[in-house]
Chain A
Amino acid sequence: MKRNDWFLAAGILAAAAILLCFQMFRKTGDQAVVSITVDGDLYGTYSLDEDRIVEINDTNRLEIRGGYARMEWADCPDQVCVNHQGISRDGESIICLPNQVVVSIENGESSGVDGIAR
């Protein structure tokens, strides 16, 4: 293993760590909302504080409980979104690629440029 290999690995890991820090320091706001988009179009926004179950187009079922949103059921074969842990922080998301459903936490107040998106 050459020295450059270590530099490369360290470089990528450092970049990942920096991105991770950005995400960690973004906390849930007071008015956090769960935003659901299907195929890029907004399906609906729901308050994270209210416990409820959202049916998304007969393909997915989202459960909001105790300040966490998690995908309870999906009709896709891989079930990646169902196995995903609950989300609560601003910017976190559950994505169901087969159904093109994106569930994300957004702070109702900060609708500016997203740190991850740059």
Chain B
Amino acid sequence: MIPRRRPVLSGKGKRLKNRAAYFGVLTALTLIFSYVETLIPVNLGIPGAKLGLANLVIVIVLYKTDFKEALLLSVTRVVLAGFIFGNLFSILYSLAGAVFSLMVMNVLKTKKTLSVIGVSIAGGASHNLGQLIIAAIVVETYQVGYYLPFLLIAGVITGALIGITSREVLKRVRDVRF
């Protein structure tokens, strides 16, 4: 990977402009993925199990830029997509899952023992785990633990799919320079 350019003072304005432009495009991209996902009805009898297409963008941004950008993008996406396609509850759960999984992915990525696919698998599983923990707190019951095994399996499968796609995209996409 080409080291990111850190322009000196004179380039600061340009850098911010680039950053805003990239961020806008990427936000739009995640929202489109969120929308596409609502068109694909996946009802496996597991509440909350989704493909997580938008996480493809998040994983790629995490690898191409850094944790901060990915976190900002992820939170923006969850809040916007939540207002458009979901409700206040789904925002809360998604936010917990998204932030938790991003933190896990960031730690595993820095350790470099796993490839993108492994990082994404861990991200998928921890996304569902984070949601479940918040659900358990909100409903004040441990009964939601019943879904844990199903959600873990779903997380591994979707995480692997997202990871494989991310690897192929990362091979081909140019560097995003913020």
Q: Could you tell me how many residues of chain A have their Cβ less than 8 Å away from some Cβ of chain B?
A: 36
**A-side interface residues toward B, CB under 8 Å?**
1-2, 4-5, 8-9, 12-13, 15-17, 19-20, 23, 37, 39-40, 77-78, 80-81, 83-85, 91-93, 95, 97-98, 100, 102, 104, 114, 116-117
- Range of interface residues on B (Cβ < 8 Å): 35 or more
Q: Are B152 and A93 in contact (CB under 8 A)?
A: no
Q: Are A104 and B143 in contact (CB under 8 A)?
A: yes
Q: Are A12 and B152 in contact (CB under 8 A)?
A: yes
Q: Are A16 and B89 in contact (CB under 8 A)?
A: no
Q: Are A117 and B145 in contact (CB under 8 A)?
A: yes
What's the nearest-Cβ distance from chain B to residue A48, in Å? Answer: 16
Q: In the bound complex, what is the Cα–Cα distance between A85 and B140 (angstroms)?
A: 22
Number of A-B pairs, beta carbon distance below 8 Å: 103
Cβ proximity bits B137-150 to A, threshold 8 Å, 1 near / 0 not: 01111111110111
Give the chain B neighbours of A12 by CB distance below 8 A.
121-122, 125, 152, 155-156
Q: In the bound complex, what is the Cα–Cα distance between A9 and B114 (angstroms)?
A: 11
Q: Are B115 and A1 in contact (CB under 8 A)?
A: yes
What's the nearest-Cβ distance from chain A to residue B84, in Å? Answer: 13
CB-nearest residue of chain B relative to A106? B143
Q: Are B149 and A23 in contact (CB under 8 A)?
A: yes
Cβ proximity bits B87-122 to A, threshold 8 Å, 1 near / 0 not: 101100100000000000000000001110110011
Contact residues of B between 133 and 178, Cβ < 8 Å to A: 135, 138-146, 148-150, 152-153, 155-156, 160, 163
What's the nearest-Cβ distance from chain A to residue B9, in Å? Answer: 42
Q: Are B142 and A5 in contact (CB under 8 A)?
A: no
What's the nearest-Cβ distance from chain A to residue B48, in Å? Answer: 8
Specify which of B45, B152, B156 is in contact with A83 (CB 8 Å cutoff): B45
Given A12-B155, A13-B153, check contact A93 B143 (CB 8 Å): yes
CB-nearest residue of chain B relative to A100? B139
Q: Are A117 and B144 in contact (CB under 8 A)?
A: no
Given A83-B45, A98-B89, A116-B142, check contact A9 B118 (CB 8 Å): yes
